[in-house]
Amino acid sequence: IVSKTDSMNLIKTKILKVSRGNSTVLLIGESGTGKELFAHSIHNASDRHKEPFIKVNCSAIPTELAEAELFGYDEGAFTGARKQGKPGKFELADGGTIFLDEIGDHGVSYIDRNFPLFLLCGCLFREDSLQILSPVMPGVSEKHYGLC
Cα 78-81-85 angle, rounded to 5 deg: 110
**Cα 6 from chain centre:** 30
Q: What is the pLDDT of residues 61-91, one digit of tens each?
A: 887 888 888 888 877 777 777 778 888 898 8
In sequence order, the 6+-apart residues with CB closer than 8 A to the CB of 117 are 123, 125
pLDDT of residue 148: 36
pTM here?
0.71
pLDDT of residue 131: 43
Q: Quote the CA–CA distance of 43 and 104 in Å, as a whole number.
A: 21
Examine the pLDDT at 7 and tell me if it is beyond 80.
yes
pLDDT of residue 147: 40
Instruction: Calculate the average pLDDT of the chain.
Output: 75
Q: What is the pLDDT of residues 125-139, one digit of tens each?
A: 554 444 444 444 433
Examine the pLDDT at 6 and tell me if it is beyond 90.
yes
Examine the pLDDT at 2 and tell me if it is beyond 70.
yes
Model confidence band, residue 145 (pLDDT cutoffs 50, 70, 90): very low
